[in-house]
Structure 1
Amino acid sequence: MTEQDLREQLAAFGASLFQRGYSVGSAGNISVRLPDGYLMTPTNSSLGKLDPARISKLDTEWRHVGGDKPSKEVFLHRAVLTARPEAGAVVHLHSTYATAIGCLAEPGEDAPIPPLTPYFVMRVGRRLPVVPYYRPGDASMEPAVFAAAQNSRAMLLANHGPVVSGKTLTDAVYAAEELEESAKLALMLRGQPARELTPAQVDDLLSTFG
């Protein structure tokens, strides 16, 4: 895809996520890796009203080189994309159910959502670490996010929201959507004798689908 294609795709996905309540106001941010840098949603922008031409562009050293000023959480995306060189995009949302799990789980947990469905395992993976709380925009969280991303496609920022990576922007968005629905399902079944996938079933999914 060309850079223009990715700009338009980013705006379309942002609008879709916003319209379905995965983000509100100016919450959330998205980044995409380019051959010569990165695209990122601008600071204080609504995912529902992104102008493809004004999406921020950063060079390979994460310096702002075009478009509007990038999100104040550039460091968060830098941490994930540096830790996961195979990842092509990062989606950070404040989606309700995943954020709720991030308020209930203890920082340091690595599986606050059980493996209830195959698509959760296929899109999110075995681990979902909970990163300790940091104030939004606090760059001191970068080492903790980097450490969590080294072995996980997704994570929860305690009392803040999910951060999800994917090989492509489409993959990252689909995984973020699956994480939100899995969080909703986990809360619905909380306290019930739900049947989880067995370790062997989880291993089979990961070996088959990666």
Structure 2
Amino acid sequence: MSAEARLREQLCLLAKSMFDRGLTGGSTGNISARTEDGGLLVSPTGTSFGRLDPGRLSRFDGQGRLVSGDKPTKEMPLHTAFYDTRSTAGAVVHLHSCHSVALSMMPDVDPDNFLPPLTPYGIMKLGKVKLLPLFLPGDPAMGDAVRGLAGKRSAVMLANHGPVVAGKDVEAACNAIEELEATAQLAMMTRGLAPRALTPEQISDVVTTFDVEWDS
């Protein structure tokens, strides 16, 4: 099996795993990954994470031209913004995960550091998550907003919509976005209960020990 064939299978397998566990439903969410030749494999528009076909993934060449497969997701501007601004990005995942969307609706969240520091793992895998405003689905302005971050964030939260995460490869991106949703779930579960979060000193220790990108 070629490297691209393995990547196609991996994209569909990981997407189905997230769908089966309720991390995104219906035909929501999209996923992409870099190929060895500098192109992209992307989930097609209107498809379900639970039923992606490896042979029908949208295939782009290194110049950004669609060369095979079905029409890509309408959220391509989000994906290309991460690839164009983060040299380490090998994959991008976008979900409509419920707890992170719920947390984005809360009036007191910090737009520059969306996730509260409840465990070390959200910090380790995501750094600071930027909360972006509400955009209409498919609006190219979402990509412009990501570009405006100049590659300083690996993850953003689209208000009232869902998270978007870039990783070094598709497995890393999926692991990170699952950590984002898990942390958001903890935040909603403990909301109003004054949980003991990590102290600034503990956050600094995590950032230093695990060499976390921590944009100030």
Indicate the TM-score class for this superposition, using the shorter chain for normalisation.
Answer: over 0.9
1:73 corresponding residue in structure 2: 75
TM-score w.r.t. the length of structure 1 is: 0.94
- Match for residue 97 of structure 2? 95
Q: Deviations over 1:159-187 (max 9, x none)?
A: 11000111111110001111101000001
- The one-letter amino acid of 2:122's match is F
| Deviation string, structure 1 residues 110-144 (Cα, Å, up to 9, x no partner) | 1232111011111111x111111111111122211
Identity across the alignment (%): 48
Mind listing any 5+ residue stretches in structure 2 that lack a counterpart? 212-216
Partner of 2:72, secondary structure, is coil
SS of 2:177's equivalent? helix
1:113-132 matched pairs, under 5 angstroms: 113-125=115-127, 127-132=128-133
For the 8 Å contact 1:102–1:158, the answer to whether it is kept is yes
Q: Secondary structure at the match of 2:28?
A: coil
Secondary structure of the corresponding residue to residue 3 of structure 1 = helix
Runs of 5+ unmatched residues, structure 1: none
1:162: which partner in 2? 163
Indicate conservation of the 8 Å contact 1:108/1:131, yes or no.
no
Question: In terms of mean alpha carbon deviation, does 198-207 or 76-85 score higher?
Answer: 198-207
Query: Could you tell me how far 1:103 is from its partner in structure 2?
Result: 2.0
> Which residue matches 1:112?
114
**Distance (Å, rounded) in 1 between the aligned partners of 2:185 and 2:150:** 23
Q: Partner of 2:178: helix, strand, or coil?
A: helix
Distance 1:149 1:48 in 2: 33
Output the TM-score relative to the length of structure 2.
Answer: 0.91
Kindly provide the amino acid, as one letter, of the partner of residue 33 in structure 1.
R
Q: Secondary structure of the equivalent of 1:173?
A: helix
Kept in 2, the 8 Å contact 1:105–1:112? The answer is no
How many residue pairs get matched? 209
RMSD of aligned alpha carbons = 1.7
